Chains A and B, each alone.
Chain A
């Protein structure tokens, strides 16, 4: 302890102590060692004309600063059925947020702002949800009960989301295992956040009330890649209904993660599946790190209940601050506090996530719970300290801190200080327990930050404004007919046909399997040709060109049929695709013209052969027949395309 303490070495040492490995080096044994466990809540908007409980149109969006009116609300916790206040509810209340809704008339009526009771549920949405539930082998309920799920963050102006279970206990199939489903619910989507600064949070109400289904899995996934795969399968199943919205934000998931001895933590609103592996990996290790911190704390502090931090209001003038921010704190409205965290030396800089330390957990909560914008604190173990060592030496002296203690400086508006002090103490006390129950927000780099306390089942209430909706056997039978192929059936079928695997993701994601199947069965096309036409060629075209409104994948079917009817070779479709994609309204012959196609008999294609061979001899620079054939192919390819099979051309050469 005599040696001077280096936060960075401590960060690295603690990272090594818990056995953190980067995801690319991690193996199943690493995940087994920490007891990785994960489940999903996959949200998917349904493509209905109107919203779920009112007659506003769905899918029309507004810009942040484009609105007709503002409504302001505050959310209050209410008593649960058991007469208790929910934990999240109290935290949200503590934050004393003023919620402002930005309303645009075309997309918002009095229902969205909670000034009119719900209209009868959108039956179209219920039917889609039932169909998708059947695809997921869920047990369909006999009667749908609209339930209120409380959200006090203001994301829904009523303070609760109207939601209803459609089916329970289903399963999906991954490549190597089955994953059990807990339930599928139909619910209204929430507002989109515009900003959240200090005590004011702003939302816009365009997305609010759009129908959404949520598919919840059991925590059956044991490594990050499995989580992503399960998510992919659920998404395929949703899309295969053909009745869901696509595009940014139309599908989002909450990912639940824990490690052995940890707690279920929910990473909210992950909008891209490819972010899931890194996020779940880091979260499991974050929990493992927090458990390590708990162990260290219990070793150091025998009586956890007696542990208490000491704080003191400070005069900024007494400290040789370097940062302009701290030097500027002499303003009356902003107060500065010093805090001693007994026994926390070496814990504030304990590794939690790549580039993050335990102190960040405190700072994140100060922002969310006490509404103190960052930077809101600094401490004796900052990895990149803005303050010289003398500041903390002076602080230790002033507060009477011992060498085993950590010291912390925090600042904020005077009225937020009491909540701030409470928040810091509370988070430190939680370190003795291990992993706090919370939801976290994700970042693209794979790390997460605190969002809010995880709510319990306590926040569910029956919706007294809606009557239960009976689901008759006949209705379910009717909806069960003509169910589209499920992803796993489609997968197996494509495998049987010998379609290359690298095309599956694209075909399933775009819900093209039914079309692929139709082309193969009706036009009797070669499956490998059809699979790669979409999975390679079409995907490439989409990657290269700007999308144009009006293009439909079905047009490919018509194009192929026309080629067959005219007796042209099917390969001709490859140059035609990009033209069709950019000009969906162009007729068949114009497309042919625009790619420079001329109909000619095989013999005419080959009529120039002698001339070309002569030409090749004069310019040849590679030896061998192979090179000559290749060159000739290159010369004749565009002429031959559509008029004869390229294979035949090569043979003739």
Chain B
């Protein structure tokens, strides 16, 4: 295969480029029925139409030219852009902790890929140092790319690979681990790693960014600094998510991997601890604890790695009028575990009951969580709840639905004995189930209460 001269162009647009013999990165002067245009022909995003040619005009702007309006076109020069992220050697500083950054495909420093519109990440320590030089004041950083997938494509294989890689780093005596990750399923991975890497001696910090690092207002650099600081200096040896506390560039919050959830599709401060308070606040200067019952950092290099996962586990978000075949089809398709996110205290409608009974009879583990996210499953309050329990549905306390899903996959990956699975499921790990809920765990700033408005006015959001 030779070089692709027409990156991203197809159909009509490709025909026109070929007809006039103009390549991508060629400087072109174009005569059209709307007047003349001149500039460099750029690659076209693959999902855009085949009716336009993209031109970078001398002022740096991009414009599209309708191919049907093109009368004449001439290539007057050719200059291919060569993208390169500047690299500087990451300096080693005696006395600073050693932190390993494990890459999974998230972006920290990056540049744009014209064709896909995607952001290509910088990742080597040298590249990162070029982009975020402040890191050298925080830790001695090394990096390893374990794989490169988008957040939404993360799954059991990746969880297991990550857990093994983390185990190896712990064995080698690293002071802290940072995992760069897309934010969409960051909390799923955080839960998976909590279960698969038990009792770690050092902080394991998951971090991402809500604004890509190709923009000046990106949260990526500050998130990375906060995460590296936490990994290198904090005394909390747990799996945590480190992301913006407020939307302002002020501090990050550390969330327990089992109690965290992405709660906004685009806000910087999208991650929230649910049903509890966050572990701590982090700035570049220090970690300020909020909770005191954290696992402390240890000197040993031991952790229990349990890289197991049963893939035939599903999560069902209950809605009124759900038909029983929703459950039946899972059972018929060989699913071994189902997490239900039920309404209120943990309910589904009565027509589902026979299907639940059938699931139990076929040996499928069914657990109940709540779609209110905050609060406990409480199936004794109403008759229907008790009835459901009799059908084998097990209440999962105040485990978050996504966390219960990951835990069930992990438990079924270790054993098919449903009693053993139940024991694993209901034994609290890193507060995935808490015995009590603090009064300030439910902090939703809504409703126009004057005190809340005053709070928001006074303290930066």
CB of B343 within 8 Å of the partner chain: no
- Min distance, Cβ B20 to any Cβ of chain A, angstroms: 15
Instruction: Give the contact stretch, choosing among A280-288, A345-353, A362-370, A458-466.
Output: A458-466
B4 to chain A, nearest CB (A): 19
Question: B269 — nearest CB in chain A belongs to which residue?
Answer: A115
Q: Is B248's CB within 8 Å of the partner chain A?
A: yes
- Give Cα A76 to B132, complex, Å: 9
Would you call A71 and B34 a contact (CB within 8 A)? no
- At the interface with chain A, which of B50-58, B143-151, B411-419? B50-58
CB-based contact B457/A68 at 8 Å: yes
- Identify A78's interface contact among B33, B49, B51, B214, CB under 8 A: B214
Chain B, residue nearest A468 (CB): B64
Please report the C-alpha to C-alpha distance between residue A145 and residue B69 in the assembled complex, in whole angstroms. 17
Set A69, A159, A457: member contacting B460, Cβ < 8 A: A69
Contact B52 A83 (CB under 8 A): no
CB distance from B52 to the nearest CB of A (A): 4
Q: Which residue of A lies closest to B70 (CB)?
A: A142
A457 vs B39: C-alpha distance when bound (angstroms): 13
Interface centre among B35, B63, B249 (most CB of A within 10 A): B63
Type the 1/0 row for A116-147, where 1 means its CB is closer than 8 Å to any CB of B: 11000000000000000000001111111101
Question: Cα distance A59–B278 when bound, in Å?
Answer: 41
Contact A72 B460 (CB under 8 A): yes
Whole-angstrom distance from the CB of B107 to the nearest CB of chain A?
Answer: 11
- In the complex, what residue of chain B is closest to A158 when comparing beta carbons? B217
Does chain A have a CB within 8 A of B233?
Answer: no
Instruction: Report the contact-size class of chain B (Cβ under 8 Å from the partner).
Output: 35 or more
Q: Is B18 an interface residue (CB 8 A)?
A: no
- Asked if B164 is an interface residue, CB under 8 A from chain A, the answer is no
Asked if A651 is at the interface of the complex by the 8 Å CB criterion, the answer is no
CB distance from B125 to the nearest CB of A (A): 16
Assuming the A-B contacts A141-B64, A458-B60, are A113 and B214 also in contact, with contact meaning beta carbons closer than 8 angstroms in the complex?
Answer: no
If the complex has contacts A83-B86, A168-B63, are A72 and B217 also in contact, measured as CB distance less than 8 A? no
Closest to A459 in B: B60
Q: Which residue of B lies closest to A461 (CB)?
A: B112
Chain A neighbourhood of B122, CB < 8 A: 79
* A72 engages B61 (CB within 8 Å): no
Q: Which residue of chain A lies nearest to B132 when distances are taken between CB atoms in the complex?
A: A76
Q: Which residues of B contact A183 (CB under 8 A)?
A: 57, 59, 61
Q: Give the contacting residue for A115; candidates B37, B117, B215, B268; CB below 8 A.
A: B268
Q: A78-B214, A168-B63 are contacts. A70–B112 as well, Cβ < 8 Å?
A: no
Q: In the complex, which of the residues B52, B266, B453, B457 contacts A116, with contact meaning CB atoms closer than 8 Å?
A: B266
Residues of A within 8 A of B111 (CB): 79, 81, 83
Judge whether A169 is part of the interface by a CB distance below 8 angstroms. yes
Q: Does residue A385 face the partner (Cβ distance < 8 Å to B)?
A: no
Interface string of B277-307 (1 = CB under 8 A from A): 0000000000000000000000000000000
Contact of A140 among B34, B59, B217 (CB under 8 A): B34
A464 and B59 contact, CB distance less than 8 A: no
- For B86, the chain A residues whose CB sits under 8 A away are 79, 83-84
> Given the complex, which residues of A lie within 8 Å of B442, measured CB to CB?
none
B434 interfacial by beta-carbon distance below 8 Å: no
Query: What is the CA–CA distance of A117 and B36 in the complex, to the nearest angstrom?
Result: 33
Residue of B nearest to A170 (CB): B35
A467 near B: Cβ within 8 Å? Answer: yes
**Interface of chain B, main secondary structure:** loop
With A145-B63, A147-B62 known as contacts, the answer to whether A75 contacts B216 (CB < 8 A) is: yes
Q: Which of A553-586 contact B (CB under 8 A)?
A: none
Q: Does A216 contact B (CB under 8 A)?
A: yes
A115 touches B65 (CB 8 A): no
Contacting B131 at CB < 8 Å: which of A79, A82, A457? A79
* List of A residues within 8 angstroms of B212 by Cβ: 464
Q: Does B211 contact A (CB under 8 A)?
A: yes
Smallest beta-carbon distance B264→chain A, Å: 8
Complex CA distance for A110 and B221, rounded to whole angstroms: 21
Q: A71-B248, A159-B217 are in contact. Are A473 and B63 (CB under 8 A)?
A: no
Q: Which residues of B contact A84 (CB under 8 A)?
A: 86
Q: Nearest Cβ in chain A — how far from B32, in angstroms?
A: 7
B460 touches A142 (CB 8 A): no
Contacts of A164 in B (CB 8 A): 61
Q: Mark B436-461, 1 if CB is under 8 A from A, else 0.
A: 00000000000000000100110011
Smallest CB gap from A67: residue in B = B457
User: Which A residues touch B110, using CB under 8 A?
Assistant: 79
Do A79 and B34 form a contact, CB below 8 Å, given A462-B62, A470-B64? no
Query: Which chain B residues numbered 238 to 291 have a C-beta less than 8 Å away from chain A?
Result: 247-250, 264, 266-268
List chain A residues, Cβ under 8 A from B211: 114, 158
In the complex, how many angstroms separate the beta carbon of B64 from the nearest chain A beta carbon? 2
Q: How far is the CA of A565 from the CA of B189 in the complex (A)?
A: 82
* A158, B210: Cα distance in complex, Å: 12
Whole-angstrom distance from the CB of A129 to the nearest CB of chain B?
13
Q: How large is the interface on A (under 10, 10 to 19, 20 to 34, 35 or more residues)?
A: 35 or more
A79 adjacent to B267 (CB under 8 Å): no
- In the bound complex, how far is the Cα of B121 from the Cα of A148, in angstroms? 19
Separation of A185 and B57 alpha carbons in the complex (Å): 13
Is B83's CB within 8 Å of the partner chain A? yes
Contacts of B221 in A (CB 8 A): 76
> A618 CA to B402 CA in the complex, in Å?
108
| B36 in contact with A169 (CB, 8 Å) | yes
Known: A142-B65, A459-B60. A74 touches B249 (CB 8 A): yes
Does B218 belong to the interface (CB within 8 Å)?
yes
A458 — nearest CB in chain B belongs to which residue? B60
Say yes or no for B235: interface residue by CB 8 A criterion: no
B112-144 contacts to A (CB < 8 Å):
112, 114, 117-119, 122, 131
How distant is A542 from chain B, measured CB to nearest CB, in Å?
Answer: 39
Q: Which residue of A lies closest to B35 (CB)?
A: A139
Collect the chain A residues with CB atoms within 8 Å of residue B32's CB. Answer: 139, 142
Q: Which of A69, A70, A142 has the most CB of B within 10 A?
A: A142
Q: Separation in Å of the B78 CB from the closest CB of chain A?
A: 16
| Complex contact B461–A69 (CB within 8 A) | yes
B169 interfacial by beta-carbon distance below 8 Å = no
Q: Which residues of A contact B264 (CB under 8 A)?
A: 115
**How many angstroms between the C-alpha atoms of A185 and B64 in the bound complex?**
14
- B114 contacts across to A, CB distance below 8 A: 462
- On whether A163 and B61 interact (CB within 8 A), knowing A78-B218, A79-B85, the answer reads yes
> Are A470 and B248 in contact, with the CB atoms below 8 A?
no
**Contact of A165 (CB < 8 Å), options: B61, B69, B213:** B61
Contact indicator B247/A139 (Cβ below 8 Å) = no
Say yes or no: is A73 at the interface (Cβ < 8 Å to chain B).
yes
Given A74-B249, A116-B266, A461-B214, residue A145 in contact with residue B112 (CB < 8 A): no
Q: What CA separation (Å) do A77 and B250 show in the bound complex?
A: 18
Contact B37 A139 (CB under 8 A): yes
By beta carbon, the residue of chain A nearest B221 is A76
B423 at the interface (CB under 8 A from A): no
Chain B residue nearest to A73 (CB atoms) is B249
**Known A79-B131, A142-B32, A468-B52; contact A147-B61, beta-carbon cutoff 8 A:** yes
| A157 within 8 A of partner (CB) | yes
Chain A residues lying within 8 Å of B118, measured Cβ to Cβ, are 464
| Cβ contact of A75, chosen from B65, B112, B217, B250, cutoff 8 A | B217
A136-188 residues with Cβ-Cβ distance < 8 A to B are: 138-145, 147-152, 157-160, 163-165, 168-169, 182-183, 185
- The 8 listed contacts between A and B (C-beta, < 8 Å) are A70-B248, A79-B111, A79-B122, A142-B34, A143-B63, A144-B64, A460-B59, A470-B52
5 further interface pairs, Cβ-Cβ under 8 Å (given A81-B83, A464-B117): A74-B222, A76-B221, A78-B215, A147-B60, A470-B64
The 5 closest A-B pairs by CB, nearest first: A143-B64, A159-B216, A139-B35, A142-B66, A457-B60
Write the residues of chain B forming the contact surface with A, with a CB cutoff of 8 angstroms.
Answer: 32-37, 48-49, 51-52, 54, 57-67, 69, 81-86, 109-112, 114, 117-119, 122, 131, 210-218, 221-222, 247-250, 264, 266-268, 453, 456-457, 460-461
Q: Which residues of A contact B (CB under 8 A)?
A: 67-79, 81-84, 89, 110, 113-117, 138-145, 147-152, 157-160, 163-165, 168-169, 182-183, 185, 216, 457-462, 464, 467-468, 470-471, 473, 476
